[in-house]
């Protein structure tokens, strides 16, 4: 089976930085996605990493180390609207994504 681990919950203060870690042990690897999901809504795409290193997109950055089976999502200058679940997903096969259970981030004023 696929093993993708993320922390269940994280809490941070508005304006702060939060790092969400994701470790994976999967049967295949063709890239890693991060998705954001607000309560009661559909997941929306945040980032995609297939090569080692850091991808920056505005306040959000994502890092990948394939040799360590490790990724993180960095959220900077946190805003209240960033309160959501963040899902790590590995492309294990051409069309198959395997998702972690998600990390619920709560931003406090």
Partner 1 sequence: IAGITQAPTSQILAAGRRMTLRCTQDMRHNAMYWYRQDLGLGLRLIHYSNTAGTTGKGEVPDGYSVSRANTDDFPLTLASAVPSQTSVYFCASSEREYNEQFFGPGTRLTVL
State the residues that interact with partner 1 by CB under 8 A.
4, 30-31, 33, 41-45, 48, 50, 87, 89, 91, 94-102
Cβ-based nearer residue to partner 1, 71 or 98: 98
Strands 18-25 and 70-75: antiparallel
Query: Least distance from C-beta 101 to partner 1, angstroms?
Result: 4
CB of 15 to partner 1, least distance (A): 29
Q: How far is the CB of 22 from partner 1 (least distance, A)?
A: 12
Locate 38 and state its tokens. 């607000």
Work out the burial of residue 44: count CB atoms within 10 Å of its CB; fewer than 13 is exposed, 13-18 middle, 19 or more buried: exposed
């Amino acid at each position: 089976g696929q093993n993708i681990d993320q922390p269940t919950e994280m809490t941070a203060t508005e304006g702060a930085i939060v790092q969400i870690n994701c470790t994976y042990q999967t049967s295949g690897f063709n890239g890693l996605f991060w998705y954001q999901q607000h309560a009661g809504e559909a997941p929306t795409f945040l980032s995609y990493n297939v090569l080692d290193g850091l991808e920056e997109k505005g306040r959000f950055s994502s890092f990948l180390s394939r040799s360590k089976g490790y990724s993180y999502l960095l959220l900077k200058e946190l805003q209240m609207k960033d309160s959501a679940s963040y899902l790590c997903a590995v492309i294990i096969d051409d069309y198959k994504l395997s998702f972690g259970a998600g990390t619920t981030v709560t931003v406090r004023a």
